[in-house]
Chain A
Amino acid sequence: MKHFNKILIANRGEIALRIIRTLKEMGIKSVAIFSEADRASLHVREANEAVCIGPAPSNESYLRIPQVLAAAKITGADAIHPGYGFLAENPDFSTACKKEGIVFIGPDAASMEKLGHKAMARAIAVKSKIPITPGTNGCISKNFLQGAKKIGYPLMVKAAAGGGGKGIRIVRDSSQLEREARMASAEAKAAFGNGDIYFEKYIANPRHVEIQFARDSKGNIVAFPERDCSIQRRHQKLLEESPSPAVDKKTREKLVSATIRLAETSKYVGVGTVEFLMDSNGNFYFMEVNTRLQVEHPVTEFITATDLVKEQILIAAGEKLSVNQAQVSNFRGHAIEHRINAEDVNNNFAPSPGKIEEFVLPGGQWVRVDTHIYQGYILPFYYDSLLAKLIIWGATREEAIARSKRALNEFFISGISTTLGLHKKIVNDEDFVKSKVSADFIERILAAKEISA
């Protein structure tokens, strides 16, 4: 790899470590940045160099563009990988890197703005002949009732700049519309600095499927088999699998070709994901595009034998993708990812920071754990509660579920509350095994019994 000598990772936690691992394998030096609260994190230990960029709160450290760029300059990094979250989908950051002569490993600011803005992305989907859920044409700022009339109830009020399940409100009838729309806009303004909202039809009991794609600067496109992320709690994904048990070969081909059309229309360069909603008849609708590497990317890596971080680096270096469509379409087996969070399930998922007293990792055949923690580590309370990702591969879905059960039972964490117990419940649930997952699946599991961590 002649293009990059040293890459700075503008992130923390498991994803920073995940990226460092690929850099090591590619023979590229790594620079970690950290806040004062993360001095003891594994990503700091594993990187070739590490610099402290600020105090614990992320808006004074990981989110500060000048500080991150100063760290890159000081250490002589020639590229920055943003991971997910923090600055990953911030067009200003992408532009600032370019100005400083540092390569941003991700799409350019224009693509990010186009596809990250949900209403603009919908317009691109229409242009790419991808079905979209009935909704407003672009954003709406007045005449809410009129706009809603064409869509019908129930509908969703969504923040154009939102993401990660934030900024979504469900409106069941016209009497609540005005109030909810105004509140959603005010919330969006406060949370994302942009108060644009739009309406979209609410599909009852949808499955959430998404297609990972990669496009290099030479125009080569690869769209991977779908991931199913239907198991969510309050729009936060808990468990993802690939392929989706609800998608047949024909539907998969349609999803893949829709994604390829969108990547071509938007001339996107980088790795991204197109999210779809699928109803019980297998009809799918475009939802949004994520212009970053996603938390659940390892399930795709497992069944297609691809390193997505490596592909991102190749694309950023102006090189060709190392995989082609035929290779990834000919995927193998089934993968499941469990997101293990430091949260107290019995106390409304309240974050549970503290000292990890005991930490026993699962292992063995086809088990992968991505985590930045270890025994004795003190989990800071400043950041999100993702503790570890347990990723399982099996030749079939049944085998993967059996292996998940086995690995979840081996996994032991004490000192803090975790969602391990919830995952054990999920994999032992009959509806999950039969893949009959409805929107209230998690609520039903939670109501069934107290869950031990």
Chain B
Amino acid sequence: MNVKTLGKITKWMCATDLNEIIWKNGTNKFTLKVNSAQPQACNVSARSSLIPVNSPSIGIFRFAIRGKSCLVKEGAEVKKGQDMGIIEIGKNFKPVKAQEAGFVKIICIEDGKTVEYGQPLFFLEPK
């Protein structure tokens, strides 16, 4: 293996989160270790492309005001700013609005359930 190829492999390795690789080809063998001064902080945040729609208040969640039907279904398209439900706070109502346009991927709330401020209610898949 020439130095140029080795350089390419090293460069590629740095681009991944691998710490060590062992390559074997018959009797040929080499081991590469990334020499990072500090062990990398475990920064594994569950990366998701989905956008949460959080509750704007503590209260009781309703998909729609009584007498109106609900258009939010799994897979349905929503526009930015579209009402996705309401929160009942005593006699007051606060709309739940889609922060972005997208498709409804997950609904994690049921009608009439109590919610906290900031609790995720829906997850949208961006367009």
Contacts and interface: CB of A to CB of B under 8 A. Distances in A.
A134 interface: no
Interface string B104-122: 0000000000101111000
A67 B89 contact: yes
Interface string A48-81: 0001111100000100001101110110000000
Contacts of B116: 51-53
Nearest to B57: A67
A71 B118 contact: no
Contacts of B59: 67, 70, 74
Interface residues of A, number: 15
A36 B116 CA distance: 11
A435 to B, nearest CB: 48
Contact of B57 (A54, A69, A100): A54
Contacts of B90: 66, 69-70, 73, 100
A36 B118 contact: yes
Nearest to A36: B118
A54 B57 CA distance: 6
Contacts of A100: 90
Q: Is the interface of B mostly helix, strand, loop or mixed?
A: loop
A52 B117 contact: yes
Interface in A17-64: 36, 51-55, 61
Closest 3 CB pairs of A and B: A52-B116, A74-B114, A52-B117
Interface of A: 36, 51-55, 61, 66-67, 69-71, 73-74, 100
Contacts of A73: 90
> For this complex, into which size category does the number of interface residues on chain B fall?
10 to 19
A67 B91 CA distance: 11
Interface in B42-72: 57-60
A36 B58 contact: no
30 contacts: A36-B117, A36-B118, A51-B58, A51-B116, A52-B58, A52-B117, A52-B118, A52-B119, A53-B58, A53-B116, A53-B117, A54-B57, A54-B58, A54-B117, A66-B90, A66-B91, A66-B92, A67-B57, A67-B89, A67-B117, A69-B90, A70-B58, A70-B59, A70-B60, A70-B89, A70-B90, A74-B58, A74-B60, A74-B114, A100-B90
Contacts of B91: 66
A54 B59 CA distance: 11
A101 B60 CA distance: 19
Q: Which of B57, B59, B117 has the most CB atoms of chain A within a 10 A radius of its CB?
A: B117
Nearest to B90: A66
Contacts of A53: 58, 116-117
A36 B55 CA distance: 13
B89 A66 contact: yes
Nearest to B55: A52
Contacts of A69: 90
Contacts of B89: 66-67, 70
Contacts of B118: 36, 52, 55
A226 B100 CA distance: 60
Contacts of B58: 51-54, 67, 70-71, 74
A261 B119 CA distance: 51
A66 B59 CA distance: 9
A36 B92 CA distance: 21
Contacts of A61: 117
Given A54-B117, A66-B92, 5 more contacts: A52-B118, A61-B117, A67-B59, A70-B59, A74-B59
Contacts of B92: 66
